[in-house]
A = this chain, B = another copy of it.
């Protein structure tokens, strides 16, 4: 009870200081903010409270306490479930801990868990989408139905994946933009949630298209232990986040076969090349440097060394492809789902439709091993040719 009183006074205090004379002149400091209401602190809502969402609530909660351009109370949407005979949202608000998805990490006092989506969206200026991609459509439908989204709200997507619409890859951030008619950026990087919960130094990348709001988002996410690069290339950032999981399957196969570092690093290298080629085919303006940022190279390395997709693919190869992905998932992931498998299917369908299979030998072989009973060893065959490589002249 005492805790609630302290929280109450704390929040009142924050709200007062927010409008005090010490307030940074937002219009000057963030001259890129063109919102006419820019002197009013921006209200932030987080849509999602899984392990990554919960860690994001810590990062953003701390920044919202510190920076006066943000409203001190941050709402977090919790898809209600019962944990130890209590509602998860109640547990989070009382204990300041998400005991189901990020046990042991303290959630800042100014995070308010709410299970009613309408209430979370109400009044929000900045929406952070951080939920499994399979729930996105439903959540967007509900937001549209509720009809209480601010017109000048802005969003950022932390969701990994791409969706194929009429055989063209579509960015999840673009789907959010179209459905809600608001701008949506993307954030992706080498960000294992559990490591960030313990404040291990990490980097991340925000991809944006139009100049204007990137500085706000950078301020909202940047911490001394979480450095955020912003790059004017949203498709590049998002394609990296999706395709890395496909390449991680390939590296996992190798690890199950020979565990050769030479071969694994070659697969990562060729994988990055195919990721870039794919991105450039469908989004011609992507930048080379995006693939060298945290969302590209760094996240690819992390995902290819210890992620879920890597682990399951390793097991798949060890069992010589005899067991189904469903079985391996069930045995290894404790109810979590593999993202790489869906993405591999989606990407392969696109390549097949556009008759581009020969240009992406690695991705196509990963698909064939995963779904067409091809021997996991064949991932090496596709690389081991007698043909000499082309020479690169200046």
Please give the distance in Å from A267's CB to the nearest CB on chain B.
9
A215 CB contacts on chain B under 8 angstroms: 391
A39 proximal to B (CB < 8 A): no
Given contacts A297-B297, A389-B230, A269 and B287 within 8 Å (CB-CB): no
| Closest B residue, CB atoms, query A222 | B388
Asked if residues A272 and B294 are in contact (CB atoms below 8 Å), the reply is no
Taking the closest CB of chain B, its distance from the CB of A32, in whole angstroms, is 10
Q: Which parts of A211-244 form the interface with B (CB within 8 Å)?
A: 211, 214-215, 218-219, 222, 224-225, 227-233
Q: Summarize A's interface: helix, strand, loop or mixed.
A: mixed
Which residue of chain B has the shortest Cβ distance to A394 in the bound complex?
A: B232
Known: A272-B292, A293-B269, A389-B229. A260 touches B301 (CB 8 A): no
In the complex, what's the smallest C-beta–C-beta distance from A189 to chain B, in angstroms?
8
The complex is assembled from copies of this chain, and their number is 2
Q: Which residues of B contact A138 (CB under 8 A)?
A: none
- How many whole Å from A317's CB to the nearest CB in chain B? 14
When the two chains form their complex, are residues A269 and B391 in contact, meaning their CB atoms are under 8 A apart?
no
A13 proximal to B (CB < 8 A): no
Give Cα A195 to B192, complex, Å.
Answer: 30
Q: Are B302 and A262 in contact (CB under 8 A)?
A: yes
- Asked if A265 is at the interface (CB within 8 A of a chain B CB), the reply is yes
The answer to whether B260 touches A394 (Cβ under 8 A) is: no
How many A residues touch B, CB cutoff 8 Å?
A: 61
Complex: how many Å from CA A260 to CA B292? 20
A298 interfacial contact with B, CB 8 Å:
yes
Cα of A216 to Cα of B228 in the assembled complex, Å: 46
Question: Which of B260, B384, B391 meets A224, CB within 8 Å?
Answer: B384
Q: Which residues of B contact A384 (CB under 8 A)?
A: 201, 224-225, 227
Q: Interface of A with B (CB < 8 Å)?
A: 190-192, 195-196, 200-203, 211, 214-215, 218-219, 222, 224-225, 227-233, 258, 260-266, 268-269, 272-273, 285, 287-289, 292-294, 297-299, 301-302, 305-306, 380, 383-386, 388-389, 391-394
A-B contact pairs, 24 of them (CB 8 A): A190-B262, A192-B261, A200-B258, A201-B263, A202-B262, A202-B266, A218-B388, A222-B389, A224-B384, A224-B386, A227-B384, A229-B389, A230-B391, A231-B391, A231-B392, A232-B392, A261-B301, A265-B297, A265-B302, A266-B294, A266-B298, A269-B293, A269-B297, A285-B394
Q: What 4 A-B pairs come out closest when comparing CB atoms? A: A200-B260, A202-B262, A265-B298, A269-B298
Known: A190-B265, A265-B298. 17 other contacts (CB 8 A): A192-B260, A192-B261, A195-B258, A195-B261, A195-B262, A203-B269, A222-B388, A222-B389, A224-B384, A224-B385, A227-B385, A264-B301, A273-B292, A287-B392, A289-B392, A297-B297, A301-B301
